[in-house]
Amino acid sequence: MSVTVLYFASLRDAAGRDSETLPAPVSLPALYAELRARHGFALPAEKLRVAVDGAFAAWDSPIADGAEIAFIPPVSGG
């Protein structure tokens, strides 16, 4: 079982890639904690939105095999 994680903005810069495929995690918070340690993400989970399969999701949403998960940091622009 695996999932694809998409990275945007500062998370993409820190990870050095747009996406990666990983073994399916136990939970979204556990996945982000693992990725934060691996890639040195500065933002805590509380500052992010999470999307699963193209739709915003709660942090306690279930994760299906093959899911596409995006952690979305706050962005600014105008």
In a domain, 77, yes or no: no
User: How many distinct structural domains can be found in the chain?
Assistant: 1
* Model pLDDT for residues 9-53, shown as the tens digit of each residue: 999 999 999 999 999 889 999 999 999 999 999 999 999 999 999
In a domain, 6, yes or no: yes
Rounded to two decimals, the pTM is 0.90
Query: CA 78 to CA 71: how far, in whole Å?
Result: 22
Per DSSP, the residues of 40-62 read T--S-GGG-EEEETTEEE-TT--
In a domain, 78, yes or no: no
| Residue 43, domain extent | 2-72
Q: What pLDDT, on the 0 to 100 scale, is given for residue 76? A: 60
Confidence band, pLDDT 50/70/90 cuts, at residue 8: very high
Dmax over CA atoms of the chain, in Å, equals 40
In a domain, 30, yes or no: yes
